[in-house]
Amino acid sequence: MNAPLTNREIAESNTTAEIIWSAAYERIFAAVKGFTTYRRTPALTIQPDDLPCLSVYLLRDRETPIGDYNVLEPRFYQRAHLGISGMILASNVDQQLQLLASKVMATRIALYTDPAFIRLISGFESSDTKLVFGRVGELPVAEYQMELVIVFEAIWPPYVPDDFLRIHLETVFPSPDEAASTQQVKATWDFEFIEAGGTYGGHTPDWPFNNRDW
């Protein structure tokens, strides 16, 4: 039987907005073709040679409590706001609209239909996409800007080291006045705890005795 995760291991295994961001970038990079430049930051400055350019970046990470905020350990619904923008160079509006629509669809397919990505999250809360037309220098460009809100959960159980190291038992039966005429018990037990996965006496104890956090 495998030992359950300790509280610290549960906390360390939480999904983070950065994990979601990296996973989204990897899938979009692999699935959305036709770009010369791929970035993990917003394209605040861009040169004509960079076009077409696709950027996937983290806008915001927001936490709201699961249930009452002052009950139990911290538990959060986290919302990772991802920004996805694809800028292309085209000669007329019709071509721009058709090409941008295909890139938006490819982005959605890359994220919405990937089982491994879906397992990382609780769900997609919202998606907001807009088209922006402008120029880079004298060159006409078109850009789709998508803000995708992805929800996942994080639990932060407290790390409480087990310092229950000794039991001392001393009886006074049946009463203090009569204790002298009755055999009493006086004993002390000392405990040695080991980390999960460790050994004691040449063997690995079963999990209830091998987990310091439960």
Q: 143 and 46, same structural domain?
A: yes
- Range of 119's domain? 7-155
Q: 170 and 151, same structural domain?
A: no
Residue 74 CA: distances (Å) to CA of 60, 93, 153, 162: 20, 50, 11, 21
Structure tokens at 22: 């990296």
Q: 85 and 65, same structural domain?
A: yes
Q: Which residues of the chain have pLDDT under 50?
A: 200, 205-214
Task: Please check whether residue 205 lies inside any domain of the structure.
Answer: yes
Task: Please check whether residue 160 lies inside any domain of the structure.
Answer: no
Angle between helices 93-112 and 17-31 (to 10 degrees): 130
Q: 120 and 59, same structural domain?
A: yes
Which of 209, 175, 171 has its CA nearest to residue 193? 209
Q: 184 and 89, same structural domain?
A: no
The predicted-structure confidence for 55-86, as pLDDT tens digits, reads as follows: 999 999 999 999 998 888 899 999 999 999 99
Fill in the amino acid letter for 204: T
Task: Please check whether residue 51 lies inside any domain of the structure.
Answer: yes
Which three-class secondary structure state does DSSP give residue 71?
Answer: coil
Cα(44)–Cα(87) distance, rounded to whole angstroms? Answer: 12
Q: 191 and 110, same structural domain?
A: no
Counting the structural domains of the chain, the total is: 2
Residue 186 CA: distances (Å) to CA of 5, 18, 168, 172: 37, 57, 8, 10
Using left for φ > 0, alpha for ψ between -120 and 50, and beta otherwise, residue 33 falls in beta
The confidence score (pLDDT) of residue 43 equals 84
- The CATH number given to whatever domain includes residue 17 is 3.30.70.1700
Task: Please check whether residue 172 lies inside any domain of the structure.
Answer: yes
Fill in the amino acid letter for 34: G
The confidence score (pLDDT) of residue 214 equals 35
The confidence score (pLDDT) of residue 197 equals 52
**Residue found by looking up tokens 């959060």 in the block:** 76
Task: Please check whether residue 192 lies inside any domain of the structure.
Answer: yes
Task: Please check whether residue 59 lies inside any domain of the structure.
Answer: yes
The angle subtended at Cα 11 by Cα 8 and Cα 15, nearest 5°, is 150
Q: 175 and 145, same structural domain?
A: no
The confidence score (pLDDT) of residue 94 equals 77
Which of 158, 157, 152, 156 has its CA nearest to residue 62? 152
Structure tokens at 108: 């959605």
Q: 98 and 149, same structural domain?
A: yes
Point out the domain boundary residue: 109, 130, 155. Answer: 155
Q: 172 and 126, same structural domain?
A: no
Task: Please check whether residue 95 lies inside any domain of the structure.
Answer: yes
Residues 6+ apart with CB under 8 A from 109: 31
The confidence score (pLDDT) of residue 213 equals 40
Q: 93 and 186, same structural domain?
A: no
Point out the domain boundary residue: 136, 155, 174. Answer: 155
Q: 87 and 36, same structural domain?
A: yes
Q: 149 and 80, same structural domain?
A: yes
Task: Please check whether residue 124 lies inside any domain of the structure.
Answer: yes
Output the average pLDDT for the chain.
Answer: 85
Global pTM? 0.72
Fill in the amino acid letter for 196: A
The confidence score (pLDDT) of residue 203 equals 53
CA dihedral 146, 101, 115, 117 (to 10 degrees): -20
